[in-house]
Chain A
Amino acid sequence: MEKVIEIQHLSKSFGTHEVLKDINFSVKKGEVVSIIGSSGSGKSTLLRCVNLLEQPSGGEIIYKGENILDDKHDINKFRTKLGMVFQHFNLFNNLNVLGNCTVGQIQVLKRSKEEAEKIALKYLTQVGMEKFVNAKPKHLSGGQKQRVAIARALSMEPDVMLFDEPTSALDPEMVGEVLKVMKELAESGLTMIIVTHEMEFAREVSDRVIFMDKGLIAEEGTPDEIFQNPKEERTKEFLKRTLKL
């Protein structure tokens, strides 16, 4: 299978604090990769570096055979190929649900309004939010907002979806509806990179799990390898702490 995106020797420092050190991994088409690890291990920073919301300090991000960290690359064009879902939803408060899903298509992808609305409605239906097209974000619950945020990202028809702790800011009873949508997406063959604290979910949907610790990839493998037979002491300790709950 072809690699959609490849990260090589990626590093990131905030001042003198080194958050990421020499990260190497790649994601194949249709693959679902979960990144787990304790808080402060650099997983969110890694995800934010992939779509350049944080400028990496070093290394390469290879997309379609080209290093997008070259000066000549159009970052905004690259970003349209990556769908990002944030922990705090980050919906556009001035636009209704439909507007949230069409503004990027119309402004950036230059689609016509009719086409954009058709595509938006398709993905809103997929996440079960088609009845709320005219609602403003202030009218929605957390789970509903996150489902709209997923539809907004999908509407750009990206090659890879990035999820940055999509359920961490939700009330417990709303976590399920978002995970259900994500599971359906994973099964539909979408390429996904998910930073999550939901171990059960990661185990269930992932093709590969990456365990990060102190800015490094400590262990990488299939869900069974990581959750059943972790090799590294750090992984064992982390899983013991989180799965006990």
Chain B
Amino acid sequence: MSFLTTVWEILIVYWPMFLRGAGTTLLIALVGTIIGAIIGLLIGVVRTIPTPEKGIKKIFLKFVNVIFSIYIEVFRGTPMMVQAMVIFYGTASIFHIRPNIMMAAFFIVSINTGAYMAEIVRGGIISIDKGQFEAARAIGMNHIQTMKNIVLPQVIRNILPATGNEFVINIKDTSVLNVIAVTELYFASSSIVGTNLLFFETFFITCIIYLILTFTTTRILRFFERKLDGPDTFIMAGNQMQVKLPTDLGGK
């Protein structure tokens, strides 16, 4: 009983700090995942450009692909905590400026996620059957048009579970950013412990908050997935009315 009472007392006193920490964590994870996903999509599109047999374009594409490979290997192959230290203090010592902490946090999580997302997107693009690429080429679409209208909408649907996974990982992994003094949830908890010295009770609350964040996130994503899939069956009766007016068609 005394445990729960203590937890309650901590909450009453420190809830603004917990809330701010949770907000920061969520913000960094969200921005990082979205920008990371965009980086991944862009790299995926570029890496699947069919390489011409000769010419300057081939050399250029090859060069770009090597750069991407290095990027992916480096950021997947080193811990985010170390990346944070190197980037944050690296910028400080090379450019003699102190980077904005939140900007640094967004940057680190984004490029880290981007490295993972690039591979996820590549897998997603490969999984679209070759026939649809051919059909798009056969009606005269170029690579960008094919990607934008046909492939990416399907890829985004297919990689949604993996992206959700990245988001959940990011919510938890932003805790390592406390090494560069980002005031996310873990940093906030540490600060609270620093004043009340109640390690177990405080981090018990932290634990619950992380769980709430990740659980709601996964539920929301699941909802979106189902929404994107649409109904499994097609009811013709509901559509016949709309056939009469071509101008009414296609509108959402």
Residues of A within 8 A of B (CB): 51, 53, 76-80, 82-84, 86, 88-95, 98-99, 102-104, 107-108, 113-114, 117-118, 121, 130-136, 138-140, 149, 152-153, 156
Decide: A135 near B234, CB < 8 A? Known: A80-B139, A94-B154.
yes
The listed residue (B140, B150, B239) touching A134 by CB distance below 8 A is: B239
Residues in A with CB closer than 8 Å to B240 are 131
Q: Is B145 an interface residue (CB 8 A)?
A: yes
B141 in the interface, Cβ–Cβ < 8 Å? yes
Q: How far is the CA of A155 from the CA of B65 in the complex (A)?
A: 37
- In the assembled complex, B195 has its CB within 8 A of some CB on chain A: no
Given contact pairs A94-B154, A136-B234, A104 touches B246 in the complex (Cβ within 8 A): no
Residue B234 contacts which of A103, A108, A139, A153 (CB distance < 8 angstroms)? A139
- Interchain CA distance A98-B149 in the complex, whole Å: 14
Establish whether residues A135 and B239, one from each chain, have CB atoms under 8 Å apart when the complex forms: yes
The segment from B7-15, B38-46, B129-137, B163-171 that touches chain A is B129-137
Q: Which residues from chain A contact B212 at a C-beta distance below 8 Å?
A: none
Known: A98-B250, A133-B249. A79 touches B140 (CB 8 A): yes
Set of chain B residues within 8 Å of A78, measured between Cβ atoms: 140
What is the distance, in angstroms, from A35's C-beta to the closest C-beta of chain B? 17
Whether A53 contacts B137 in the complex (CB less than 8 A), given A102-B250, A117-B250, comes out as yes
A84-B135 in contact (CB<8A): yes
How far, in whole Å, are A91 and B128 apart by their CA atoms in the complex? 12
| Interface flag for B247 (CB, 8 Å) | yes
Q: A99-B250, A140-B234, A152-B139 are in contact. List 15 more A-B contacts (CB 8 A).
A: A76-B140, A76-B142, A79-B138, A86-B138, A90-B135, A92-B150, A93-B132, A94-B153, A95-B150, A118-B246, A131-B236, A132-B236, A133-B249, A149-B135, A153-B138
Contact flag A92-B138 (CB < 8 Å), given A133-B239, A136-B230:
no
Cβ of B233 < 8 Å from any Cβ of A?
yes
Cα-based distance from A121 to B137 in the complex (angstroms): 22
Residue of A nearest to B153 (CB): A94
How far, in whole Å, are A131 and B237 apart by their CA atoms in the complex? Answer: 9
Measured CB to CB, the closest approach of chain A to B53, in angstroms, equals 9
| Interface hits, B98-131 → A, CB 8 Å | 129, 131
Is the CB–CB distance between B135 and A86 below 8 Å?
yes
In the assembled complex, the CB of B90 is this many whole angstroms from the nearest CB of chain A, namely 42
List B contacts of A121 (CB < 8 A): 246, 249
Within 8 A of A (CB), among B208-252: 230, 232-234, 236, 239-240, 242-243, 246-247, 249-250
Q: Report whether B134 and A90 are in contact in the complex, using a CB–CB cutoff of 8 Å.
A: yes
Instruction: Evaluate contact between A93 and B154: CB separation under 8 angstroms.
Output: yes
Please give the distance in Å from A65's CB to the nearest CB on chain B: 20
Pairwise interchain contact B138-A117, C-beta atoms closer than 8 A: no
Please, which residues of chain A bring their CB within 8 A of the CB of B157?
A: 94
Residues of A within 8 A of B132 (CB): 90-93
CB contact under 8 A between A132 and B139, given known A107-B149, A121-B246: no
Nearest CB of chain A from residue B231's CB, rounded to whole Å: 9
Of all chain B residues, the one with the shortest Cβ separation from A130 is: B243
Q: In the bound complex, what is the Cα–Cα distance between A121 and B242 (angstroms)?
A: 12
